[in-house]
Structure 1
């Protein structure tokens, strides 16, 4: 019987130590999340420090562009609907492939006319991304759209107003105001 009490006391002590260590890890992860959020605010995702020459920031308007979706629909800056979420992806970007399932899942619950996937065609085969997104988003395979928005880093997610005015920039769909689950 004394051995049983000693074992129970030992297991209880180990559980308590584990709980304390787990709470410490959670606290540290929260600190790191805050630091990463601050980093994203300090450095925009258009390829450089916020306010750097040639980089767009919220309030700026995209340059004129003309493109055609993979379904044959013409697309211009003026045809963008207010609140449209634009995902800029590249076939040779491992981060883009990691975020692709989550973005496709999010887009499936949205109005397709307000979701645009721009796949940069400078490198890699876009077929996999086109297949994954075609049913849930308007898909354009054209680097001219990326250039019009000044995007230099992939993946990048934007929310735009009518006429291509930039409302928000984020590294992940969940960080956009429109990126919350539908």
Structure 2
């Protein structure tokens, strides 16, 4: 009988050690996830998410959800172009601020283009949320025409257009966009 108790004590000790190690691994994974998310949300000074401000975007031709064709020549001064993906936690965090910002623009949704990256099925909810404040362009991935023209290297990305297709302001967070653009 003492052998059974000894074996049971060993199994309990191993199980307890396994539980402690599992909790430690989970805690470490959470820390890593936060570090990764912070890296995605870094400021433009730490790394550009698109072409830098002062650069003219490349040529592109895209069709919005309203069947309007958009090219670089359609980008007017003061327009906002944003890039989102449903797989991006920072995109989810920045979406409410973007909706508030875009809702305050005097030109309404005609002055805002939201480029959504992913399959139409996974973008359906995001498309519905943003279609009230922005013209929607869907691209499968960062190899799409608009993503390539803007030099997209991460998301979310927020761009304020200057004259003649030149980027005035770019960044990972909505707060890089000037309040003066909201009229």
Question: 1:123 deviation in Å?
Answer: 9.1
Q: Are 2:80 and 1:80 equivalent residues in the alignment? A: no
Counterpart-to-counterpart distance in 2, 1:169 and 1:153: 12
2:88 is matched with which residue: 89, 93, 98?
93
Residue equivalent to 1:44: 47
Measured on the aligned residues, the alpha-carbon RMSD in Å equals 2.4
Q: Match of 1:125, SS?
A: helix
Q: Does the CA contact (< 8 Å) of 1:159 and 1:178 recur in 2?
A: no
Q: Does the CA contact (< 8 Å) of 2:102 and 2:134 recur in 1?
A: yes
Question: 1:117 deviation in Å?
Answer: 0.7
Q: Which has the higher contact order (CA 8 A, sep 6+)?
A: 2
Counterpart-to-counterpart distance in 2, 1:95 and 1:62: 24
Instruction: Tell me the matched-pair count.
Output: 137
Taking structure 2 as the reference length, the TM-score comes to 0.66
Taking structure 1 as the reference length, the TM-score comes to 0.67
Question: 1:44 deviation in Å?
Answer: 2.7
Gaps of 5+ in 1: 1-38, 47-54
Counterpart-to-counterpart distance in 2, 1:179 and 1:96: 23
Counterpart-to-counterpart distance in 2, 1:108 and 1:119: 18
Question: 1:78 deviation in Å?
Answer: 0.5
Residue equivalent to 2:118: 121
Q: Are 2:64 and 1:64 equivalent residues in the alignment? A: no
